[in-house]
Each structure stands twice: as structure tokens, then as C-alpha cells.
Amino acid sequence: MTRGSQRERDRERAAARAGGKGKNAEDGLTPEQRRERDGKALQEKAAKKAAQAAAAGSGGGAGSKGAAKK
């Protein structure tokens, strides 16, 4: 059975596809700094989403959630 070489080739191909993706624990930050950076990114993302929701909600019209059905 030559299945061992196939597995090794598959692992190499998967590693090549992954490239630089994935988590990088060696980014030179302490856990506290990483937590602060991630928290700031989440706040920015939430603010952006809220702004988009406000812009979409201000359009109004018959398609809005507040419209009454009969």
C-alpha cells in the first residue's frame, strides 16, 4: 500500500493552499494588547453595522418593518 505517500502529498498541498492564512500567535503582542486590539476592531465593526442599519432604516416606505398589514 502506498497510501502513506498520498497522505503526505495531500498535507503538502493543503499547507500550500493555506498559505499565510490562519491564526498567528506570534504577532509580537501580549494577550492584553491582543485583547485590546480585538476589542477595538469589534467596536468599529459594530459601529459600522449600526450606521448601515440606520441608513437602511431611514429609507422608510412600504417595505419597512413598521408597516401595518391588513
pLDDT digits (tens, 9 = 90+) for 3-25: 678 999 999 999 898 876 656 66
Task: Tell whether the model's pLDDT for residue 27 goes beyond 80.
Answer: no
Contacts (Cβ under 8 Å, ≥6 apart) of 23: none
The whole-model pTM stands at 0.44
**Between 39 and 65, the higher pLDDT residue:** 39
pLDDT-derived band at 34 (thresholds 50, 70, 90) equals: very high
Q: Which amino acid is at 43?
A: Q
d(CA 44, CA 39) in angstroms, rounded, equals: 9
Contact 57, 64 (CB under 8 A): yes
> Helices marked H in 1-70 — which ranges?
3-18, 31-57
